[in-house]
Amino acid sequence: MTLYPESKCSPARAIDILETFGMENIWMNSACDWGISDPLAVIKCALEMKKRHHSAEVVDKVIFENPKTFLSQCPNFAL
């Protein structure tokens, strides 16, 4: 899920989507393309999750564990 600060998928809208459809198998990234971008969008999303009283474990899963699980499918990936 690509986060944009003003259009498409803002951090608040992203959390609405996660709360509706679940926190599994989602990977968020910050848009850095032709439009207005915010390299801190993922961090802002984590802060929005905390503001909405999601646990630290859920925030960590969405922000860190989900991408790590996906990338770990590649044998060349290492943290």
HEC readout, the chain: CEECCCCCCCHHHHHHHHHHHCCCCCCCEECCCCCCCCCCHHHHHHHHHHHCCCCHHHHHHHHHHHHHHHHCCCCCCCC
The pLDDT, as a whole number, for residue 57 is 95
Q: Where are the domains of the chain?
A: 2-71
The pLDDT, as a whole number, for residue 60 is 95
The pLDDT, as a whole number, for residue 48 is 92
Residue 76 structure tokens: 């060349």
The pLDDT, as a whole number, for residue 79 is 84
CA-angle at 49, arms to 43 and 55, nearest 5°: 115
pLDDT along the chain (79 residues), means of 10: 80 90 88 81 92 95 93 92
The pLDDT, as a whole number, for residue 71 is 93
Q: pTM for the whole thing?
A: 0.81
